[in-house]
Amino acid sequence: MAAGLDGIFDIPAGRIAAVVTSLDMQAPPVIPPDPVGDWSIRRVAQPDLDWYRDLYARVGREWLWSLRLRMSDAELAAVIRAAGVEIYTLAHDGGDEGLLELDFRKTNECELALFGVTSKLIGTGAGRLLMNHALRRAWAQPLTRLWVHTCSFDHPRALTFYQRAGFRPYRRQIEIAPDPRLDGTLPREVAGHVPLLG
């Protein structure tokens, strides 16, 4: 243990801190049967930036997803339209309600870079369907590793969901970032589980 790292430390004003857990798998898992529901999954090639930002915000605002919302058009396009990056959506009741982003840009690896469904689909099985799709698509490639990270701002069942899917934790970190509710990136009333200070 590094000296001086034990204890409680103040977070600077206007910042938030989360515990980030990284997980991976190094072989294809056993994938359970797809749940039955009124959902469909489709790949979105060359995603429209406004469409992407809207879906990203609806899926992630309660969990303080903000990184992609802070990007310029050029920065965002460079990520989500890059060769080796695949964007999928889960459609339900005429609208897009889930977001999956797979990043194959590193040889023989895939990052499950973004994953989630909107609040109205949490607990319905839609997330399990989207995860099954992610696992099948990723392991259809010549991978040696699939990885993902989650944090203490995410849904309280996110970590166990990933572990049930076959991921195993291998690293824990602390992330400190500007609170996106203080600069208008996200509404002030979201993420009640993370107190708003300042």
AA letter at 116: G
| In the predicted structure, residue 4 carries a pLDDT above the cut 80 | no
Give the model's pLDDT for residue 2. 59
pLDDT band for position 43 (cuts 50, 70, 90): very high
Whether 88 maps to a domain, the answer reads yes
AA letter at 47: P
Whether 186 maps to a domain, the answer reads no
Whether 49 maps to a domain, the answer reads yes
Whether 148 maps to a domain, the answer reads yes
Q: Give the count of domains, the chain.
A: 1
Interior/surface letters 95-117, b for 16+ CB within 10 angstroms, e for the rest: ebbbbbbbbbeeeebbbbbbbbb
What mean pLDDT do residues 65-91 have?
A: 97
pTM of the model: 0.94
Whether 6 maps to a domain, the answer reads no
Whose CA is closest to 118, among 93, 99, 94?
99
Whose CA is closest to 179, among 9, 18, 7?
18
Please give the residue that has the higher pLDDT: either 2 or 44: 44
CATH number of the domain to which 39 belongs: 3.40.630.30
Alpha carbon distance 170, 188 (integer Å)? 33
Give the model's pLDDT for residue 75. 98
pLDDT digits (tens, 9 = 90+) for 139-194: 999 999 999 999 999 999 999 999 999 999 999 999 999 999 999 999 999 999 99
Whether 79 maps to a domain, the answer reads yes
Alpha carbon distance 127, 133 (integer Å)? 10
| In the predicted structure, residue 49 carries a pLDDT above the cut 70 | yes
Domain that holds residue 86: 22-178
The pair of three-digit structure tokens given for residue 101, joined into one six-digit string:
């982003």
Please, are residues 97 and 120 in contact by the beta-carbon 8 Å criterion? yes
Alpha carbon distance 170, 189 (integer Å)? 33
Whether 85 maps to a domain, the answer reads yes
Whether 188 maps to a domain, the answer reads no
Alpha carbon distance 147, 161 (integer Å)? 14
